[in-house]
Amino acid sequence: MRRPRAPTAERPWRHTAFSPALLGLAGVWVFFALANNRFLSAENLSALAGQVAPLILVAAGVVVVLLVGEIDLSVGEVAGMGATVAAILAFREGWPSPVAVAAGVAVGAGIGLLQGLVVTRLGVPSFVVTLAGLLVWQGTTLALLGARGNVNIPPDDWMARLAGARVGTGVVVALLVAAAGLGVADRVRARRRRQGAGLPPEPWRPGLFRLAVAVAVGAAGMAAAGGRRGVPLSLVLALTIAGGLHAVLSRSRFGRHLSAVGGDRRAAARAGVPVTRVRVSAFVLGSSLAALGGILTASRLLAVNQTTGSGELLLAALAAAVIGGASLFGGRGTAGSAVLGVLVLGSLANGMDLLDLPSAARFTLNGTVLLAAATVDALSRSLPAWRPAR
């Protein structure tokens, strides 16, 4: 009796690592659209776009750290620290806002470098190092804010326009199409390189399927959220950075090194991968994105205060990464998965706000979704691989 054929390239959804997140997002949108007719309104989708933009950056940074098999519990406070430094330099010390923003991101990078070196050089577990960092950076932020406890951002300042400005919907859709074109060109180059090396070319359909779905969903979402006013600049920035990071993680040597280190650190070292440098780089990149996410949050709220970056930001970022398909065990994850996970969580929060659900129901639902995503991750590693019959 012949074994059943395993899903291969002719079934492209099996090659989409974040298909559960796509199905979950579709289910969330269908449920809340039926439960409240305001959910799919242009005003609500525009508000949702502005809310999820900072979390996309923080969650993308979390994915990078998870990819090497580590965890960073300090990303929320690093986000608050980066925003606090940028706001103080710009509006208390008189620095130009772009320079102040760059300094805030640099502070985040420095924090990631310090924590990464402690983890890799001293051998302290990343859980302990970043948990200590959570407390240290929270205290440092409170000390920087001082007795006033907050820094207001003028609505006409450049920093405020990071979240307040709008980009034309047509321009954003054109950028999506252009990005898709670059993706196709990259696939063509990859096929030619493999053919030149005498290797079988990569199959077309799985990659094109993912690309087509991403462009279609993205264009529809941007058109709905943008309307006549346009898409929030913060979302365009977040998606641009996440798209660039996705390309780096999936197509560059650095991305392959990250996955190799997370998959098997000893094997990666034997293969010549600079394991320590890669692990430290993951912490630096994760903290830099967290700081930039905190700055976008401050830009949207027009203020930095003692709660910026604290609260549920850490849990939301970790949950979004896992829901999107990043593995808690290392070796698997993309920036695209982070975006999907953020959209699932953001849509849940937005829909529950519209339905005015009590806090008990919100925490229970978010916890259930996170547990389901972690269970899928664990099962995907424990079940035996289903290989095609020869």
Backbone angles phi, psi at 38, to 5 degrees: -85, -10
CA distance 306 to 139: 10
Task: Name the least confident of 79-93, 135-149, 178-192.
Answer: 178-192
CA distance 165 to 63: 28
The answer to the question of residue 390 being in a domain is: no
CA distance 92 to 172: 35
Query: Which residue(s) pair with 231 in the sheet?
Result: 167
The answer to the question of residue 361 being in a domain is: yes
The answer to the question of residue 283 being in a domain is: yes
CA distance 253 to 281: 13
The DSSP 8-state label assigned to residue 39 in this structure reads T
CA distance 41 to 233: 19
Element (H, E) at 79: helix 75-91
Count how many Cα atoms sit within 13 Å of the Cα of residue 92 in the half-sphere of its side chain.
Answer: 16
Q: What pLDDT digit, counting tens, does each position of 239-253 carry?
A: 889 888 988 888 888
The answer to the question of residue 123 being in a domain is: yes
Residue of 114, 24, 54 whose CA lies nearest to 311: 54
Helix (H, G, I), strand (E, B) or coil at 305: strand
**Count of CB atoms situated within 10 Å of the CB of 179:** 18
Domain that holds residue 70: 15-168+230-381
Question: Tokens representing 332?
Answer: 């698997």
The answer to the question of residue 106 being in a domain is: yes
The answer to the question of residue 198 being in a domain is: no
The answer to the question of residue 258 being in a domain is: yes
Domain containing 314 — which CATH number? 1.10.3470
Rg for the chain, CA atoms, rounded: 21
Q: What pLDDT digit, counting tens, does each position of 307-365 carry?
A: 887 777 888 888 888 888 887 777 778 888 888 889 888 888 888 888 888 878 777 87
Average pLDDT, the chain: 82
Tell me whether strands 150-152 and 303-305 are parallel, antiparallel or unpaired: antiparallel
Give the number of domains in the chain: 1
Residue of 88, 96, 140, 83 whose CA lies nearest to 297: 83
Task: Record the pTM.
Answer: 0.85
CA distance 81 to 291: 7
**Is the alpha carbon torsion for 41, 44, 49, 52 positive or negative?**
negative
Q: What pLDDT digit, counting tens, does each position of 5-34 carry?
A: 444 333 333 444 446 777 777 888 888 888
CB 229 within 8 A of CB 166: yes
The answer to the question of residue 189 being in a domain is: no
CA distance 334 to 79: 21
More confident residue, 149 or 227: 149
Residue 182 clears pLDDT 90, i.e. is over it = no
Task: Name the least confident of 115-119, 120-124, 367-371.
Answer: 367-371
pLDDT at 196: 74
Query: Which residue(s) pair with 110 in the sheet?
Result: none
Question: Tokens representing 99?
Answer: 């320079």
